[in-house]
Chains A and B, each alone.
Chain A
Amino acid sequence: MQLPEPDPDILSRREEIIAGLSALFPPERVSEHVIHDTASMRVFECDGLSAYRQLPLVVVLPATTEQVSQVLSFCHDGGIKVVARGAGTSLSGGALPLADAVVLGLGKFNRILEIDYANRCVVAEAGVANLAVTDAVAPDGFFYGPDPSSQVACSLGGNIAENSGGVHCLKYGLTTNNVLGLKMVLIDGRVVQIGGRHLDAGGYDLLGVITGSEGLLGVITEVTLRILPLPEDIMALLLGFPSVVAAGDCVAAIIGAGVIPAGMEMMDRPAIHATEEFVSAGYPLDAEALLIVELDGPAVEVEYLVKRVQDLARGAGADYTRISQNDEERERFWAGRKNAFPAIGRISPDYYCMDGTIPRARLAEVLTRISELSAQYGLSVANVFHAGDGNLHPLILYDANAPGELEKAEEFGAEILRLCVRVGGVLTGEHGVGVEKRDLMGEMFSEIDLEQQQRIKCAFDPDQLLNPGKVFPVLHRCVELGRAHVHGGKIPFSHLPRL
Chain B
Amino acid sequence: MPAFIPETEGEAADVVRAALSDNLSIEITGTGSKRGWGRLVAAEVDLKLSALKGIECYEPEELVLTAKAGTAMSEIEQTIAEKDQILAFEPPDFGPLYGFAPGAGTLGGIIACNLSGPARIRSGAARDHVLGLDAIGGRGEIFHSGGRVVKNVTGFDLSKVMTGSFGTLGVLTSITVRALPRPEKLRTVLIFGLDWTRAGEAMTAALQSPHDINGAAHLPGGAAALSAAGYVAGAGGPVTALRIEGPGPSAAARCAALRTLLATFGETEELHGHNSRILWREVRDVAALLPDAARCLWRLSVPPASGAAVTEALIAATGGAAFLDWGGGLIWLAVAPGLDASAGAVRAAIAECGGHATLMRAPDGLRAQVPVFQPEDAITEQLAARLKTVFDPSGIFNPGRMSEGR
Which residue numbers of A lie inside 8 Å of B, CB to CB? 116-120, 141, 162-163, 165, 169, 173-174, 176-177, 186, 190-194, 196-206, 208-209, 211-213, 216, 229-232, 252, 255-260, 297-301, 304-305, 357-361, 386, 389-391, 424-433, 437, 441, 444-446, 448-453, 455-460, 471, 478, 481-485, 487, 489-493, 495-499
Contact = CB atoms under 8 A, between A and B. Distances in A.
A208 to B, nearest CB: 3
5 contacts: A176-B128, A208-B127, A258-B181, A429-B151, A459-B386
B301 A205 contact: no
A361 B61 contact: yes
B153 A206 contact: no
Nearest to A188: B379
A491 B14 contact: yes
Contacts of A212: 153, 156-157
A353 to B, nearest CB: 15
Nearest to B155: A453
Contact of A213 (B156, B249, B373, B391): B156
B154 A444 contact: yes
A358 B137 contact: no
A192 B160 contact: no
B268 interface: no
B30 interface: no
B61 A202 contact: no
Among A118, A200, A446, residue most surrounded by chain B Cβ atoms (within 10 Å): A200
B151 A484 contact: no
B374 interface: yes
Contacts of B246: 297-298, 301
A498 B391 contact: no
A contact patch SS: loop
Nearest to B182: A258
B124 interface: yes
B15 interface: yes
What class of interface size applies to chain B in its complex with A?
35 or more
B205 to A, nearest CB: 10
A357 B152 contact: yes
A497 B7 contact: yes
A216 B155 CA distance: 11
Q: Which 10 A-B pairs have the closest CB atoms?
A: A208-B160, A202-B356, A258-B181, A301-B250, A202-B374, A118-B305, A198-B355, A197-B303, A429-B151, A499-B3
B383 to A, nearest CB: 6
Contact of B393 (A202, A229, A483): A483
B326 interface: yes
Nearest to A297: B212
A191 B378 CA distance: 11
Contact of A162 (B143, B153, B303): B153
A490 B61 contact: no
A33 to B, nearest CB: 26
B182 to A, nearest CB: 7
Given A203-B380, A205-B127, A459 B387 contact: yes
Nearest to B125: A200
A202 B210 contact: no
Given A426-B152, A449-B144, A459-B383, A493 B250 contact: no
